[in-house]
Amino acid sequence: MTRIGRLLHSWKPVYSSLGLELTDRQIKLVEAGLGSKMKPIVYQHAIEKLPDGAVVDGRIKQGMPIIVQLKRMLRSKPFRAKRVHLVLPSQLIMVRFLKLPDIPVKDLRKVVAFELNHNLHLPFDHPYYDFAKLNGSNNKKAHKPMKKASPAAKPQEPAFQETAAAKDQPSVNNMFADFESPASAPASDVQPPALCDVMLVAAPRELIDEYVAIVKAAGLVPATIEFKAMSLLRLALSIEMVKSDETFMVVDINETGTDLSIFHRTELKITRNVPLPVPSTITAADQKTPASDSGADWFAEFNTIAKVDDPLQAFSGDLLHEIERLMNFYRYTLNNRDHEFTSIILSGDVEGLADIEEYCKARFPELVRLLFSYRIHIDATDPFTLLPKIAVPLGVGLRGKET
């Protein structure tokens, strides 16, 4: 460790914590905290490969190799923090945005429980869930540890009555399903109650239990659990890559899939996991132009920029198609035509991320940027390459004292 690294480590505040991300191929661990002027500091970091088959599609199949690798990582460097914040795999999490009565958070919690038990069809049993009230009145902090779906609210409870009064209102946009236009509310002579936007996040109980068991077996203390989009938002704001009043997209690319998330004024509006091929495994025979929507003739121009057998170029074409498709859905289907995008931020652990950035700039020259900022203390020989790779565990690690 360099002298600067030793100094930073010796000055580490008591609220530093660990951020952990498991992918199908890697385990990433970051110890982070906040220094002077709230600047993020990376005290330690480690990235190690996992044995094939240990994690498959985000699910832990072989726990012991992961525990052994995690213990080895903790011994390899002077990690001091024991509290760890976890990131769950995006493809196994349900994120939905609801329109619910604008009532106090305490009562809203009962409405959410009622919706989960009666109106929302989850793709898994025994869910843990959490929610955040995004606007409206009575906005006390709604974040609690993810919990099991609770019994339905009783008919005599005010929360139940509010739900019944609002049942004809448009309610759910499933961000992990195929895009659909929001259903129109039927005409009614009754004045509907005021509504608010609520973000609901749910995950299978067994998934969370598996991840918690892993970190406990390695000698760590699990603190919180969240999903990738929120970790990346926290980091982007901390290093001032974006401002709080902007509309922007964060694109995180790894071996098994890509996460695309749109934010407006620091609120998550859409997040989607797309199973794109891994660039390092694409061959020239696999290259093909994605089917374009009407008005997307730029794909033809993109594919004439460089007539070479470049797997990253083919991947970038597919990625750009997904980016533009999501942006168009947000603007036109969700009726946000006045929201101008200020940036498209790229992060991830794939090789050739800088080349993907250049290909994407051919379509969005003023918007695409690789995640990086000088507003962060990080001890590395190549911080430009490292920061996008550890963005997710670093972002969740910055939760610090949160429980």
Tens digit of each residue's pLDDT (9 = 90 or more) over 80-98? 999 999 999 998 999 999 9
Residue 393, pLDDT > 70, answer yes
Q: How far is CA 133 from CA 40, 159, 284, 309, 318, in A?
A: 27, 15, 47, 48, 34
SS3 28: strand
Mean pLDDT of 151-165: 37
Give 60-67 contacts, CB < 8 A, sequence gap 24+: 60/22, 60/210, 60/211, 60/214, 63/210, 63/213, 63/214, 63/217, 66/22, 66/27, 66/214, 67/214, 67/217, 67/218
Identical fold at 3-90+205-233 and 245-370? yes
Would you say the C-alpha torsion 203, 206, 207, 209 has a positive or negative sign? positive
CA dist 168 and 189 (Å) reads 12
Euclidean distance between the first and the last CA atom of the chain, given in angstroms as a whole number: 31
Query: Which strands, in side-by-side order, build the sheet including 221-227?
Result: 221-227, 83-88, 17-22, 26-34, 40-49, 377-378
Q: What pLDDT is recorded for position 222?
A: 96
Residue 358: closest CA among 305, 280, 309, 294:
305
The yes-or-no verdict on residue 144 having pLDDT over 50 is: no
Q: pLDDT band for position 143 (50/70/90)?
A: very low
- Indicate the SS3 state at residue 344: strand
For 352, left (φ over 0), alpha (ψ -120 to 50), or beta?
left
pLDDT at 280: 61
Question: So what's the pLDDT on residue 339?
Answer: 96
The C-alpha atoms of residue 57 and residue 280 are separated, in whole angstroms, by: 18
pLDDT tens-digit map of 242-289: 999 999 999 999 888 899 999 999 999 999 999 987 656 444 334 444
- Where do we find the tokens 């969700």? 334
Report which residue type is found at 68. Answer: V
- What's the rounded Cα separation, in Å, for the pair 176 and 189? 34
Please count the residues of the chain: 403
- List strand residue ranges (DSSP E) for 58-180, in order: 59-60, 83-88, 94-101, 127-133, 147-148, 172-174
pLDDT (0 to 100) of residue 45 = 96
Residue ranges per structural domain of the chain:
3-90+205-233, 92-203, 245-370
Range 245-370: architecture per CATH: 2-Layer Sandwich (3.30)
CB 89 within 8 Å of CB 58:
yes
Q: What is the DSSP letter of 200?
A: E
Q: Which fold has domain 3-90+205-233?
A: Nucleotidyltransferase; domain 5 (3.30.420)
> DSSP assignment, residue 245?
T
Strand partners, 224: 85
pLDDT over 60 (residue 72) = yes
53 touches 61 (CB < 8 A): yes
Tens of pLDDT, residues 320-355: 999 999 999 999 999 999 999 999 999 999 989 999
Beta bridge partners of 348: 253
